[in-house]
């Protein structure tokens, strides 16, 4: 614990108002975390960051900083009147609930991303609920959370749905209580068009890098419509050069699928393999046997965009969207595209018909 970040939260007076000061030693990640908090500012007088003395602000701060180290908020437990303040419940109880929930998700073989997303979501809600035990949670609490935390902080529709799903699953598992979806205030579904690059823009991006590893990674995402995680999970055995196929194992939804590889893509993969000779993963990080970092891969794309002179805020997923759209424009059957992309429902694939 001594090597980890130590953070303290305490109530302070600033210009006649009560605020919550956030203090920690110099730490770059912690600075980035607090800057992202709504209403967080730096005070020269207090020599610390501070946030409004509000339940949702405190919960958001603890949620953002807890992954980086120990957050001490014991001084917030009592209000000025000596009554329990609207602050998170006992940390030991929170840890117990989160550990049990994480173990359940892991035992059910949920993906690592889903485990983290649901556990983080539950952590925010537990702390928002302060000293109210899960056995006392009800629909009014979830609706209050939607209004006072999610909407006030401008969180997305997908974030709101993740929260509802996590809370619903937690109550079913730990309290044997089933919450009716129709009784929860869920957001109306958004119908957004996928972000798509033109064929010329994709070509410029794929030709931007001289580094063969960077070129191969970006090219393979577009050539097979891969998700970022799918690319990074590939092994050398995933490439079947005799059949010109890419074998994508344990993709989203625990499904395997295959995608066709062109002769040009096979040739690029051969040149890359000769140059780098990967062992465990097809695209390894700096240490042999470790997977390439997803953030580094996003930087590879950003560098390609800059070199190509493309101003659009493209992400790696844009390449997947572009692949599907270009196939559809070429007259490819929608069912075929659905299989290549690994969509469970044809409705997901049909969004490309609106482009």
What's the first-to-final CA gap in the chain, in angstroms?
A: 52
Cα Rg, the chain, nearest whole Å: 24
- Catalytic option among 97, 127, 214, 343: 343
Is 149 an annotated catalytic residue?
Answer: no
Kindly name the residue from 209, 320, 321, 326 that is annotated as catalytic.
320
Find the helix packing angle between 157-174 and 91-107, rounded to 10°.
90
Strand order in the sheet with 5-14: 41-43, 48-52, 17-24, 5-14, 69-72
Question: Measured between alpha carbons, how far is residue 180 from residues 171, 177, 195, 268 in Å?
Answer: 12, 10, 34, 52
| Block residue for tokens 């419940």 | 89
Q: Which of 77, 186, 252, 307 is catalytic?
A: 252
Type and span of the H or E element at 162: helix 157-174
Q: Where are the alpha helices (DSSP H) in 54-153?
A: 55-65, 91-107, 112-128, 139-145
For the question of residue 243 being annotated catalytic, the response is: no
Give the C-alpha distances (Å, rounded to integers) separating 54 from 1, 4, 13, 83, 88: 28, 27, 14, 15, 11
**DSSP state at residue 300:** H
Q: Give yes or no: 227 in active site.
A: yes
User: Does residue 240 sit in helix, strand or coil?
Assistant: strand
Residue 59's contacts (CB-CB under 8 Å, 6 or more residues apart) are 88, 124, 127, 128, 149
Which of 23, 213, 227, 307 does the annotation list as catalytic? 227
Residues 6+ apart with CB under 8 A from 10: 20, 21, 23, 75, 76
Structure tokens of 76?
Answer: 């917030």
Indicate if 252 belongs to the active site.
yes
Strand-pairing partners, residue 50, are 21, 41
How far is residue 71's CA from residue 8's CA, in Å, rounded to a whole number?
6
The answer to whether residue 343 is catalytic is yes
Give me the residue label for tokens 């109530």. 11
152 is catalytic: no
The catalytic site residues sit at 227, 252, 317, 320, 343, 352
């Amino acid at each position: 614990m001594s090597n980890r970040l130590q953070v303290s939260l305490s109530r302070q007076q600033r210009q006649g108002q009560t605020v919550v000061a956030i203090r920690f030693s110099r730490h770059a990640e912690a600075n980035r975390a607090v800057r992202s908090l709504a209403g967080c500012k730096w005070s020269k007088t207090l020599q610390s960051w501070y946030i409004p003395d509000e339940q949702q602000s405190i919960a958001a701060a603890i949620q953002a900083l807890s992954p980086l180290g120990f957050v001490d908020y014991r001084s917030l437990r009592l209000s000025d009147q000596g009554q329990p303040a609207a602050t998170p419940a006992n940390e030991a109880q929170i840890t117990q609930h989160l550990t049990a929930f994480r173990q359940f998700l892991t035992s059910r073989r949920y993906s690592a991303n889903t485990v983290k997303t649901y556990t983080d979501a539950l952590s925010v809600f537990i702390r928002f609920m302060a000293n109210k035990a899960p056995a006392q949670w009800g629909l009014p609490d979830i609706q209050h959370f939607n209004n006072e935390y999610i909407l006030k902080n401008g969180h997305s529709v997908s974030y709101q749905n993740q929260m509802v799903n996590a809370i619903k699953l937690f109550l079913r598992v730990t309290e044997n209580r089933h919450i009716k979806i129709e009784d929860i205030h869920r957001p109306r579904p958004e119908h957004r068009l996928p972000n798509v690059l033109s064929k010329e823009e994709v070509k410029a991006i794929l030709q931007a890098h001289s580094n063969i590893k960077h070129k191969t990674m970006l090219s393979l995402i577009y050539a097979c419509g891969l998700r970022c995680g799918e690319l990074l999970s590939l092994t050398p055995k995933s490439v079947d050069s005799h059949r010109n196929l890419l074998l994508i194992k344990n993709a989203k939804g625990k499904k395997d699928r295959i995608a066709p590889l062109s002769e040009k893509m096979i040739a690029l993969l051969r040149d890359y393999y000769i140059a780098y000779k990967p062992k465990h993963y097809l695209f390894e990080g700096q240490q042999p046997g470790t997977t390439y970092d997803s953030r580094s891969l996003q930087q590879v794309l950003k560098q390609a965009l800059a070199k190509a002179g493309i101003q659009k805020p493209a992400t790696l997923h844009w390449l997947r969207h572009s692949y599907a759209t270009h196939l559809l424009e070429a007259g490819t059957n929608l069912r075929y595209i659905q299989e290549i992309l690994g969509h469970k429902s044809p409705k997901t694939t049909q969004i490309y018909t609106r482009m």
